[in-house]
Structure formats: structure tokens, C-alpha cells
Homo-oligomer: A and B are copies of this chain.
Amino acid sequence: MKRLGLLLTIALALAHTAAVAEPLPSWESGPVRSALLDFVGQLTEPDSSTYRPPTERIAVFDHDGTLIVERPLLVQMAFVHERVRELSPAHPEWAELAPFATVLEGDNEVLAEMGFRGTAALVNAAQAGISQVEFRGAVSRFLDQARHPRFEVVYPRLVYQPMLELIALLTASDFRVYIVSSGGLEFIRGLSESVYGVPRDRVVGSVMKYELREEGAALAVWRKTGFQTLNAGSFKVLNIDRHIGRRPLLAVGNSDGDLEMLSYTHAGKGSLAVLLRHDDARREYAYAEDSARVLPVASERDWLVVSMQKDFRQVFPNGDRF
């Protein structure tokens, strides 16, 4: 992870520099980029009637599909599959046991259809029964080594450059940026600081049950099966209230799981709700089946709808030719 981490730090530093020189360079000029710049400008201009002090400048970003590629599989689901393959020698029974057998046979189409909720047994086998320290190591190895099946690069290179620039602009404008995801808290923390520049304590995610165990004289946190919170839909709002304690001024999402978070944010004065559409099959993917509920609401309430095809000048940090 070290060399990659360095590259990404440089990319992020460049994004920061760019944010000062010419903000949002990977966004196409037009009404979307202007709306983002106006939003930040109006909130941070001390003489403006819409000025908001730094304590109130909260921005929340969904993760999968908003900051990083989520096709053909959620990155975390690719990790779960990899862990199942790694652990399989100790579990000969998995060879004939669904859904483990499907993973071991590598039938990606069946697995993609399965979704996150259909795969509780996989998630528990891959992510529970180990200490947090061990789990963090496994996440780090995966992010350092595993490659995306289509783009053939490690996953941390498949984050969206325009979103990195937006995070950098917000951070430079004294916003506190949080990632609020239905993905696993510790999985996203594996990327948050090195890739997005978002501190570990500004990640709100789904959380497995924990227990405290004694290891020698020391106490360690262990992961148990099952979830203490599945951070999707309404729970995104409830966990924002629990973790942050303020209504965000900016929310960015891409799917029906973000509907409540976007609505809740939009209801606040001077706020902005942003919805990213995946409509670029050439450079990324084109799909809308998981945004059937949120898209009409976005259009009805005049949220800022971003077209990846039209509004992203560049999609990925290292350019879009793979």
C-alpha cells in the first residue's frame, strides 16, 4: 500500500493545489460546475446574507457509486469474495454449500445478482470472528493488491477525480467532509484518509457487532456476526444525527439508499442536494435501476443532478484510458 499511498497522496495534493488555482478542473464548465462553485462561494463569503460559519459547514458523501466505481460488484463485495477464497482451505464444506460454492466456482453473474443483503452468510464468514486489527490488515492487503476485472487496476485508482476535487475544495473552504455509506465502516476507513483525505473519525458506515476481548494484559476489539447498524435509507439520517449532530449543508449521493439523506439535507436552509447519474458506459458504467425512487424526487425538488457523461471532463485520477 505504501507506494500506492504515496501516489494517491500526491494526486490528492495536486487536487488541493488545483482547488486553489482553478477549482474543480475535472468538471466540465456549465450549470452543474457553476452551481457547486456558487454554493461554496455564497456560504463562505463573510459579507453574504447566506454566509455560514465553519462549525455549520458539514458535507456528507455516499461512498459506492458516488466516490468510487461500484460495478460489476461493490468493492467490498469483491473483498468478501476474496476473503472467502482465502479462508476456503480451512472450510472444505464450503465447496458444496451455497452461497460459498458460488463464490468458489467464480460465477460472477450469479454473484452480482445476489446483492449485499442476500449474502449475509458470506459477509459474516469473511468479516466476523477476527480482531479489528487483523481485519484492517486484510482490508489493506486487498486494496493494495486486488484488481478490478474490467479496468485491471487496483480499486483505489477507480475513485472519481471530480469528487476528489470537490472534497478538496470543501476542505479548503473549512467544511468538514464525512463519508456516510451503507458499506462497512472499517472497509471504508481503509480508503478514507489515504485516498479521500477524510479522517477515520469522519466515516459513518454499517457496523458489525463488536465485543471486547482480553489479549494477554491488553484489551482488543473483536468483530462478531450480525450488524449493530445497517447504515442505509433512514438509518443514514439517524446515524448522521448520532455521529455528527448537525444537519448537513451538502449531501451527495447516487441511489435510492441516499434518498432520505438527500431529503433531510435539502430541508435545511441554504443547503444543496446532489445526485450523480451513471450514464457513461464508455468511460464507466450506465445504469439507473437502483435510483428509480430517487430520480423523480430529485427532478421534482430541483436537486442538482450530475451526469457523469456530460459533467465529468475526466472520470479517474490517472486518466480514463485503460
Q: Does the CB pair A200–B237 fall under 8 Å? A: no
Q: Is the CB of B201 within 8 A of A245?
A: yes
A263 at interface by CB-CB < 8 Å = yes
A219 touches B189 (CB 8 A): no
Pick from A105-113, A206-214, A313-321 the stretch touching chain B: A206-214
Known contacts: A201-B245, A221-B238, A237-B221. The answer to whether A260 contacts B207 by CB under 8 A is: no
A176-B201, A219-B267, A260-B212 known; A243 vs B243 contact (CB < 8 Å): yes
Expressed in whole angstroms, the Cα–Cα distance for A193 and B202 within the complex equals: 18
Across-interface contacts of A98 in B (CB, < 8 A): none
Q: A241 to chain B: which residues have CB within 8 Å?
A: 132, 210, 221
Chain B positions within 8 Å of A217 at CB level: 267
Closest to A178 in B: B201
A90 and B203 CA atoms in complex are apart in Å by 42
Q: How far is the CA of A217 from the CA of B301 in the complex (A)?
A: 11
Instruction: Say yes or no: is A50 at the interface (Cβ < 8 Å to chain B).
Output: no
Q: Convert A196-231 into 0s and 1s, putting 1 for each residue whose CB lies closer than 8 angstroms to a CB of B.
A: 000111110001001110000111010000001000
Q: How long is the Cα–Cα vector from A234 to B263 in the complex, in angstroms?
A: 36
Chain A interface residue bracket vs B: 20 to 34
Q: Quote the shortest CB–CB distance from A148 to chain B (angstroms).
A: 26
User: A55 interface residue, CB < 8 Å from B?
Assistant: yes
Please state if B260 and A237 are interface contacts (CB–CB under 8 Å): no
The listed residue (B176, B199, B210) touching A242 by CB distance below 8 A is B210
16 further contact pairs, Cβ within 8 A, besides A203-B245, A210-B242, A243-B243: A176-B201, A185-B242, A186-B245, A189-B245, A200-B245, A201-B202, A201-B243, A201-B244, A210-B238, A210-B241, A211-B234, A212-B234, A212-B264, A218-B264, A219-B260, A219-B264
18 examples of A-B residue contacts, CB within 8 angstroms: A55-B193, A185-B242, A185-B245, A189-B245, A201-B244, A201-B245, A203-B245, A207-B242, A211-B238, A212-B237, A212-B238, A212-B264, A217-B267, A218-B264, A219-B264, A219-B267, A221-B237, A228-B242
**Residues in A lying within 8 Å of B, measured CB to CB:** 55, 132, 176, 185-186, 189, 193, 199-203, 207, 210-212, 217-219, 221, 228, 234, 237-238, 241-246, 260, 263-264, 267
